[in-house]
């Protein structure tokens, strides 16, 4: 903050310096008052800039900046040096007024950013899973609110930034944890055990660093853990997709061998579409989607095969029944013939 202030002060002084150096008649007390007024305006401008006032009130800021430039070019002599001092003092009040208008908006924007991250974490179950890690972040957010209300704007700005950093870390850490959980659930760790174990270690270390207050290191390690888990998950889905691709190939060939494409054409064509789409996703390295489609294709080929078998079984039963009826009709006809012949005697 000090470096920005001195840069601003230097800029303001440079604006007014031609007039100061050109002016020989004004006494030293007046020159000291002029420099003090210029510094006061510069400080007010710097404070307002620190809280993004130009973004919230661009018109008012532009007008004040124009007035500052014009004041710096005013000729200073015994007749008007007091007017220049008054102009700088008025500018200081203007920048402070813009800051006063900005602070509630600035504080609300920081609160909205914090609450957006916090709400996402709550919605995804992070607070329920890790309630102890929310305490530090919530306390930082509440401290920022208290400091804004008390007028401790710079401390409030730092507390809000700290709260944002804490919630951003929790977001990354929770995302990493979710990936690790999914890897365990799907048993994908066996495809890349080294990266998985290392990710576990790094994430555990990140949580320790968070508790110790070393948030930058914690965030860096959480990001690395997330990347390692992502690699494991990607490798797992690739292997899983290849595995189910082979299974779908086997079921498809079995269906063709059984001529299911004829006996259960509708279901076979549904399986064929999933099979085709799965290969397109596989070629595009969309392994998760490819896996799902291959599994669907497997299931549809099996259903088609079962339906074809049922149809064949039903057809055989119908043929058997028809054959039985034909034999029964033949026996009845022969019996009737015997009776007729007996009656004719």
Please write the tens of the pLDDT for every residue from 103-120: 999 999 999 999 999 999
Rounded to the nearest 5 percent, the helix, strand and coil shares of the chain are: 90, 0, 10
Handedness of CA 326, 329, 335, 340 (dihedral sign): negative
- Residue 26 belongs to some domain of the structure: yes
Q: Single out the residue of 204, 261, 254 nearest to residue 229, CA to CA.
A: 204
CA distance 105 to 94: 17
CA distance 279 to 246: 11
CA distance 164 to 160: 6
CA distance 266 to 252: 14
Residues sharing a CB contact under 8 Å with residue 184, sequence separation 6 or more, in sequence order = none
- Residue 307 belongs to some domain of the structure: yes
In which element (H, E) is residue 78 found?
none
CA distance 102 to 106: 6
For residues 289 and 219, membership in a common domain is answered with: no
- Residue 177 belongs to some domain of the structure: yes
Residues sharing a CB contact under 8 Å with residue 217, sequence separation 6 or more, in sequence order = 206, 209
Full-model pTM: 0.72
Q: Which two tokens stand for residue 141?
A: 């957010």
Q: Which of 67-81, 112-126, 285-299, 319-333 has the lowest mean pLDDT?
A: 319-333
The per-residue b/e assignment along 18-44, b for 16 or more CB within 10 angstroms, e otherwise, is ebbeebeebeeebeebbbebbbbbbbb
pLDDT per residue over 231-251, tens digit each?
999 999 999 999 999 998 998
For residues 101 and 138, membership in a common domain is answered with: no
Domain boundary pick from 227, 245, 273? 227
Indicate the pLDDT class of residue 317, thresholds 50, 70 and 90: low
Q: What does the angle CA 338 – CA 344 – CA 345 come to, to the nearest 5 degrees? A: 95
Domain that holds residue 130: 124-227
Rg (CA), the chain: 41
For the chain, the average pLDDT equals 84
For residues 269 and 306, membership in a common domain is answered with: yes
Domain boundary pick from 174, 207, 227? 227
pLDDT per residue over 19-49, tens digit each?
444 444 455 778 888 999 999 999 999 999 9
For residues 84 and 131, membership in a common domain is answered with: no
Note the pLDDT of residue 256.
86
> Tokens 């292997």, residue?
239
Q: Single out the residue of 307, 181, 196, 318 nearest to residue 255, CA to CA.
A: 307
For residues 100 and 129, membership in a common domain is answered with: no
For residues 199 and 264, membership in a common domain is answered with: no
Q: What does the angle CA 321 – CA 327 – CA 330 come to, to the nearest 5 degrees? A: 140
- Residue 40 belongs to some domain of the structure: yes
Domain boundary pick from 227, 248, 283? 227
Note the pLDDT of residue 340.
54
For residues 273 and 305, membership in a common domain is answered with: yes
> Tokens 């009040």, residue?
93
Note the pLDDT of residue 337.
54
- Residue 243 belongs to some domain of the structure: no
Note the pLDDT of residue 303.
86
For residues 138 and 222, membership in a common domain is answered with: yes
- Residue 289 belongs to some domain of the structure: yes
Measured from the Cβ of residue 98, the count of other Cβ atoms closer than 10 Å reads: 24
Share of residues in the chain with pLDDT > 70 (%): 80
- Residue 281 belongs to some domain of the structure: yes
Segments of the chain assigned E as strands: none
For residues 138 and 172, membership in a common domain is answered with: yes
User: By the 8 A CB rule, do 300 and 271 touch?
Assistant: yes
How many domains in the chain?
Answer: 3
Distances (CA, A) of 334 to 102, 152, 324: 110, 114, 15
- Residue 248 belongs to some domain of the structure: no
Note the pLDDT of residue 2.
39
Q: Which two tokens stand for residue 238?
A: 């690739």
CA distance 284 to 90: 65
User: By the 8 A CB rule, do 67 and 16 touch?
Assistant: no
For residues 79 and 32, membership in a common domain is answered with: yes
> Tokens 């860096």, residue?
220
């Amino acid at each position: 903050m000090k470096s920005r202030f001195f840069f601003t002060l230097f800029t303001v002084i440079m604006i007014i310096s031609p007039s100061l150096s050109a002016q020989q008649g004004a006494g030293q007390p007046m020159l000291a008052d002029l420099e003090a007024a210029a510094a006061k305006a510069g400080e007010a401008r710097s404070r307002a800039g620190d809280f993004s006032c130009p973004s919230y009130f661009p018109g008012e800021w532009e007008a004040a900046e124009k007035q500052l430039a014009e004041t710096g070019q005013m000729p200073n002599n015994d007749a008007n040096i007091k007017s220049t001092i008054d102009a700088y003092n008025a500018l200081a009040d203007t920048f402070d007024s813009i800051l006063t208008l900005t602070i509630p908006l600035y504080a609300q924007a920081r609160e909205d950013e914090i609450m957006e991250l916090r709400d996402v974490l709550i919605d995804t179950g992070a607070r329920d899973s890790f309630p102890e890690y929310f305490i530090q972040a919530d306390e930082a957010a509440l401290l920022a609110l208290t400091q804004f209300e008390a007028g401790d704007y710079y401390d409030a700005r730092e507390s809000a930034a700290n709260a944002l950093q804490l919630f951003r870390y929790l977001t990354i850490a929770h995302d990493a944890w979710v990936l690790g959980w999914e890897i365990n659930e799907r048993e994908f760790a066996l495809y890349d055990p080294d990266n998985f174990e290392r990710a576990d270690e790094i994430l555990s270390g990140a949580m320790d660093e968070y508790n110790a207050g070393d948030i930058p290191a914690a965030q860096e390690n959480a990001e690395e853990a997330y990347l390692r888990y992502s690699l494991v998950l990607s490798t797992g889905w690739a292997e899983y997709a290849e595995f189910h691709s082979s299974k779908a190939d086997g079921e498809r060939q079995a269906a063709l061998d059984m001529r299911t494409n004829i006996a259960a054409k509708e279901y076979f064509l549904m399986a064929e579409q999933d099979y085709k789409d799965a290969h397109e996703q596989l070629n595009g390295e969309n392994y998760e989607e490819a896996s799902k489609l291959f599994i669907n294709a497997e299931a549809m080929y099996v259903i088609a095969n079962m339906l074809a078998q049922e149809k064949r079984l039903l057809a055989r039963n119908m043929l058997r029944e028809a054959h039985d009826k034909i034999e029964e009709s033949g026996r009845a006809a022969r019996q009737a013939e015997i009776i007729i012949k007996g009656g004719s005697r």
